[in-house]
Structure 1
Amino acid sequence: MSTRFAFGIGLVVALLVGAMGAGDGRSTATASDRRDTPLRVMAFNIFLGGTYNGGEENLRQIVEFVRAERPDVVFMVETYGSGATIEEGLNEGLPPDRRYRGIQITREPGQPADDDNLWLFTRYPVAEVYPRVTDAPVTSFHFGGARLTMPSGREVNVFTVWLDALERAWFPTDATALDRAYGFEPGHTEEQIAATDHSARYAKAVTILEQILPRLVPDEDAPVVIGGDLNTLSAYDWSKRFAGAYSHEGLTVDWPVTNAFADAGFTDTYRDVYPDAGRYPGRTWSPYWGFGYSPARIDYVWTRGRGLDVASSHTRTDRLPRHEGAAVDEEYPFYSDHGALVTDLVVEGGGGAPFGRPRLDRDRPVAPPERPKGRPVDAGGVSATSEQSGFEAGRVLDGDPDTFWASSFAPAQPLPEAITLDLEKPRTVTGLRYVGHLIGRYYEEPGYVAGIDRYRLSVSRDGEHFVQVGSGRLERDRRPQWIPVERGTSGAVRYVRLTADEGFTDHAGAAELTAYERR
């Protein structure tokens, strides 16, 4: 298995960025020389034209989000009829020399107007838009790009890519990690998981790397940037080196597609900046459907060529602060079901920085879930404001994370919904351990039929008069989460209530709930 990273030959590092914060993340270059050119690129699958989750308002916010990141090049996937609107929004109020040019990559003969999957947006002059690819099984629905000109005349080749989602790569990975974590019989072997790449993705990746690219860019030293959605995971991330990382559960998967990119001399820019895949998983799937248990990094920026260096990289999976709290934010925590990936590159000898030099952002390391404080309490009973037949409230106490409580969805009950634990006698409660339900371990979607987004935690001595002691927002994933008591309760309490004010698909649910008390 190849886990190597291909670095450009003869790189000149203008300034090592060693004081950008603690942790394993690192930056390999920065455009400090006036002759060098910073090149910020973004890979972003906007999910069905950006209007599925929130309509035109969400699309408007996508444009504001992209503008806030200040990319020079955007590799956009699932654009689907929104390209012209996005181009217009990106350019609103900009002077002519700072405007973006939108390039429709997907342009199959006779295609419907809203079937334009891939687009490319660039602020740099376009020397050539490459011809539509016709190398079966790859079409312009999967790959295409352009050659850009830097201020000095140096050229950079940029390509947007999308590889098939079926068969899913992440779902069996996540399911098998969950099986191992909870002692279930694994539903997939490591070889079966890796084989999902061979259904369609691998053949397309090899065609791109061995046929299309050599024809379009015959000079192997020429700078090339490929960005987009590969719908598969990283062989480096899932190598033996990280088998012991939290939520990997000993899994090692030799992913063929990302191996092919590495073997072709490409650098995985995010992992180049953050070599520790355990602390920096870089997950981009899925802020909408739920991050699940194991991390899914399926969106990439790859680079190859002389004089093209990596400076920094970061992911985005939350809305801008000014967009939080709006109606569209309640059900859709981000603008898409994919996170966005931004990478800062340096083009050596590019001729300066016509669009300025962006501040280099960094991802924060991801720690395992917070450990509960105190000792667990065996609740004697549980009740809920509503429950669906077959998904009764008592399931949160059965010790089986594969069963769960769900509030009524036939008929539907509007939120808020609440579930209350009876601890049988007064206790000094420190918090609640919450596990979101695991249904969907073997399905094509995470299966969040019911879950809790925004919550309130309340306690009571008599079961009638409750005092709120905490509130917040839970992650849409399957890892245990700690809900602390944030305010004092003036003594011991018998009842602990978790209220769901917002939930995925407007239903509340939980697989396991455990109260903890002070030791």
Structure 2
Amino acid sequence: MNKIFTLLLLVLIVASCMEKKEVELRVLQFNIWQEGTKVDNGYNAIIDEIVSTKADLIALSEVRNYDGSNLATRLVASLKEKGFTYYSQKSQDTGILSKYPIVNQEALYPVKDDHGSITKALIDVNGTTIAFYSAHLDYLNCALYLPRGYDGSTWEKLDAPITDLNAIKEANLASKRDDAIRVFIADAKKEEKKGRLIILGGDFNEPSHRDWVNENRNKYDHNGAVIDWHNTIELEKAGYTDTYREIFPNPISHPGFTYPADNPLVDLNKLAWSPEADDRDRIDFIFYKPDVKLELKEVSIHGPNGSVARNKRIVETTQDPFILPLDVWPTDHKAVLAVFNLKKQ
């Protein structure tokens, strides 16, 4: 009997040690569309979806703090009412929620004249510090609309699609998106030198060069354009990995569209910015810097499996993995959920 007890005790000790050496880390990128105010019961739906994902780190876009409120305080209190402890600090445009203590937070790229922002937090995950960044990049000069025959700042229909690559790249770089990403790369390099892990989540308002490829040049109103979109290229040059394309490298079978999402509770004219075009794209991302302590396990699209194209609601027939909403979906974007193993060395 004593031998059995001793054996069981050893098993429990080994299991406990293994548990301490590896932690599942669930990261959610979530554009909450003006704090859920565009959808009936949208704020409560944000809370419900956060709970359902079991997310540990959440990068929020479109934080507004309406009427002098503090969204961070509201979210933490609402989640507490449901029995979940999260940490958050007041921010603008972008925000961060964490199940783990926030050591420090700053507006790394502060919002100015509505040209996007990046919020940064240092988060202590059981003794490992993660530099977590939430980005909502400039929505103006949104060059993805040009090949589709729409202006990227006024969304007025053009006389014809613009497919000249130099013109598209020039318009793209007229935005502040590249400025924000340049600031991120420089700051994250410093954090990496301090031994910190780096994760970036955000609504980029710009596609990936891995999605506008030769194989789909005549799909989704690309109109023959194969485009090296600037910011995803710069991130890859700096050593960052796009979680979705790491797991699903084929943009034909797994396009991973995150915008525009079909939201059945919202009128179509509020969902379609280029109503005569198919402007489905993947503009919401989670990037990370590969490290022996951080292993990507899985990634999925969180949200409805429907999209909007040419002013119609359509159901996607791709092979993308979806985590469908519980009930009310609070936004016009789809979210991205990446699951990592965080290992202690």
Q: Same fold (TM over 0.5)?
A: yes
Q: Tell me which residue corresponds to 1:77.
A: 61
Q: Tell me which residue corresponds to 2:177.
A: 201
Output the CA distance in 1 between the equivalents of 2:225 and 2:166: 11
Q: Tell me which residue corresponds to 2:145.
A: 171
Pick which of 238-247 and 191-200 moved more.
Answer: 238-247
TM-aligned CA distance change 1:166 to 1:45, over 3 Å: same
Q: Write the mapping of 1:289-308 to structure 2, written as runs, cut at 5 A.
A: 289-290=271-272, 293-306=278-291, 307-308=293-294
Quick one: which of 289, 293, 300 aligns to 1:314? 300
Q: Secondary structure at the match of 2:168?
A: helix
TM-aligned CA distance change 1:136 to 1:43, over 3 Å: closer
Quick one: which of 189, 201, 209 aligns to 2:164? 189
Q: Write the mapping of 1:437-452 to structure 2, written as runs, cut at 5 A.
A: none
Q: Tell me which residue corresponds to 2:229.
A: 255
The percentage of aligned residue pairs carrying the same residue is 20
Output the CA distance in 2 between the equivalents of 1:239 and 1:347: 33
Quick one: which of 323, 340, 349 aligns to 2:327? 323
Q: Shift of the alpha carbon at 1:174? A: 3.4
Q: Secondary structure at the match of 1:265?
A: coil
How big is each residue's C-alpha offset from its partner over 1:448-479, in whole Å with a ceiling of 9 and x where there is no partner? xxxxxxxxxxxxxxxxxxxxxxxxxxxxxxxx
Q: Shift of the alpha carbon at 1:132? A: 3.8
Q: Secondary structure at the match of 2:119?
A: strand
* Gapped regions of structure 2 (runs ≥ 5): 1-17, 66-70, 151-158, 264-270, 306-323
Quick one: which of 16, 19, 23 aligns to 1:37? 23
Q: Tell me which residue corresponds to 2:196.
A: 222
Alignment pair present for 1:99 and 2:85? yes
Q: Secondary structure at the match of 1:101?
A: coil
Alignment pair present for 1:243 and 2:217? yes
Q: Write the mapping of 1:117-136 to structure 2, written as runs, cut at 5 A.
A: 117-126=93-102, 128-133=103-108
Alignment pair present for 1:284 and 2:258? yes
Letter in 2 for 1:317: G
Letter in 2 for 1:42: L
CA contact (8 A) 1:138 1:207 kept: no
The aligned length equals: 283
Q: TM-score when scaled to structure 2? A: 0.73
CA contact (8 A) 1:72 1:123 kept: yes
Q: Tell me which residue corresponds to 2:330.
A: 335
Letter in 1 for 2:96: L
CA contact (8 A) 1:165 1:231 kept: yes
Output the CA distance in 1 between the equivalents of 2:99 and 2:37: 25
Letter in 2 for 1:195: E
Letter in 2 for 1:159: Y
Q: Write the mapping of 1:380-395 to structure 2, written as runs, cut at 5 A.
A: none
TM-aligned CA distance change 1:79 to 1:137, over 3 Å: closer
CA contact (8 A) 2:163 2:224 kept: no
CA contact (8 A) 1:220 1:305 kept: no
How big is each residue's C-alpha offset from its partner over 1:302-358, in whole Å with a ceiling of 9 and x where there is no partner? 10042212111111232966526xxxxxxxxx31121111111121228xxxxxxxx
Q: With CA pairs under 8 Å and 6+ residues apart, which has the higher RCO, 1 or 2?
A: 2
TM-aligned CA distance change 1:203 to 1:122, over 3 Å: same
Higher Cα Rg: structure 1 or 2?
1
Q: Shift of the alpha carbon at 1:143? A: 1.3
Q: Shift of the alpha carbon at 1:100? A: 0.6
Output the CA distance in 2 between the equivalents of 1:137 and 1:86: 24
Q: Tell me which residue corresponds to 1:379.
A: none
Quick one: which of 329, 339, 342 aligns to 1:344? 339
Q: TM-score when scaled to structure 1? A: 0.50
Output the CA distance in 2 between the equivalents of 1:220 and 1:196: 37
Q: Secondary structure at the match of 1:159?
A: strand
Letter in 1 for 2:166: E
Q: Tell me which residue corresponds to 2:249.
A: 275
Letter in 2 for 1:83: A
Quick one: which of 113, 121, 125 aligns to 1:150? 125
Output the CA distance in 1 between the equivalents of 2:62 and 2:325: 25
Q: Tell me which residue corresponds to 1:58.
A: 42
* Gapped regions of structure 1 (runs ≥ 5): 1-32, 107-115, 177-183, 325-333, 351-519
TM-aligned CA distance change 1:134 to 1:172, over 3 Å: closer
Output the CA distance in 2 between the equivalents of 1:207 and 1:172: 26
Give the root-mean-square deviation of aligned CA atoms: 2.9
Q: Tell me which residue corresponds to 2:314.
A: none
Output the CA distance in 1 between the equivalents of 2:325 and 2:204: 29
CA contact (8 A) 1:137 1:203 kept: no
Q: Secondary structure at the match of 1:171?
A: helix
Letter in 2 for 1:323: D
TM-aligned CA distance change 1:281 to 1:174, over 3 Å: farther
CA contact (8 A) 2:111 2:117 kept: no
Letter in 2 for 1:186: P
Q: Secondary structure at the match of 2:206?
A: coil
Q: Secondary structure at the match of 2:295?
A: strand
CA contact (8 A) 1:221 1:304 kept: no
Q: Shift of the alpha carbon at 1:188? A: 3.7
The structure that is helix-richer by fraction is 2
Q: Secondary structure at the match of 2:93?
A: coil
